[in-house]
Structure 1
């Protein structure tokens, strides 16, 4: 028998502490909605720009609560066979041929045999509903906005009753509802009917203080002065209306890259050489390498000098 999972946090402060113990710095508003989603057993709908740490919340919760993490990565054209279940058709065909070769002609028996649990392939949705009591997983439905409205409507039914019906087997209902985290980058609007079943939070980019603390935790070898420059530079870039602003993950990557290169401070050449770890679109890179990046560097040097 499996061991029960760790207890849920009993307060907002305990939620903040729990996340912080796993290097996720959550503001009080985010910690509050996470705490409420856990206590109320409601799905948590997280919206925000790509790279702000929405997916990481599900990963941290799984670690902190000692639960399996089941991830459904959404994409255009996602259907039931990829998301919920499908039958192992090659194995079923082999079983049919073996039955015929052995002289078995009872079609009902053959059908009962091949449409059994043995031939069922559980995809993420069914996996999330099939856990043992006391070990409900964290179920991450990542980038829901990439799917179409038909799949969203199907998911609405799943999240209402935490069950799915397989025609050949019947209804499978979760013995304990999973902790559901839904993320979207807002490339399209998700239907209100689904949002109403969830608690909602907009996850924004961290402020400079938070981002500096994130670097100190994630890249502890990064020089303190360099860390301040990196954060100031990234924070300034996010005000330039780039095609794709750098997320927290890119900030961590840039700090790691500069640490690996033994840099102690930013300079135009270093920025130009390493900008591909921070920006991912050529138009943005060309803009920064074309002179605007040098102006940003001059601005942050002046700001840091004044602050210092």
Structure 2
């Protein structure tokens, strides 16, 4: 059974990855599962300078998920390279470093600092965190996303994943902009902006008022995004959002994801990534496949891209409106 996935110049042994922000820096999970078996580990997002994050409370459960407002709490790139990267480089699993910046220049500087560093397989650009000022703007505007990806592309030879926000009218337009600027893959989706309230006290349940919703509640939104992006783009899509079982993964694969990331499920079932991986070969064989690639994007629909309320057509995904060519540079 061939479970491998190639993205840009990187090859991943299997498509089941650990999502950023839900797996720590991997050291926290070393006594729970065999880290070498994880398709890729995406550690907690890092920024150029240390960030304290948002005021508590930072998380609250919802009926079908989790709201978080961490605010990219981290010690900065210098601390990451000194304290965490040496350990990550020795794990044996591909490491995809998630980066975020307040400006285009910050993204570019981070990419340059990480380029060629031993043990880093790829970069994931977090242009979509809903819990900080600056970041989500890059993922919500096609031109700004194009600028960020282009600036990073100029500073690194590493494969670039761009993590997109669902909090946008036309995710396909933003995806096309990222592809044209040199992205090697898109990660879809980040959390959905939401809110929780304690009505008896008449206060929000998060210190930052608003937060990002993850978990089972957002899976239909993530599936829709992956499906739409697959119809319009040529680069691989990495699906994320509400994935907890092998059935969830298979849904993402048939709508067009070449790989998936497991996020919230790792909080309540730390072995989720490996549990899914162990069941994946049988699920693929159930479709008569011996390669993962044989099922990607094979969903059968009546007439191509499903159209609905606010759903853009793949052949008119507004590259003209953005002024950006849908063809990738180079």
Do both proteins adopt the same fold according to a TM-score greater than 0.5, normalized to the shorter chain? no
| Higher strand proportion (structure 1 or 2) | 2
What's the TM-score, normalizing by structure 1?
0.28
Structure 1 or 2, whichever has the larger Rg, is: 1
What's the TM-score, normalizing by structure 2?
0.27
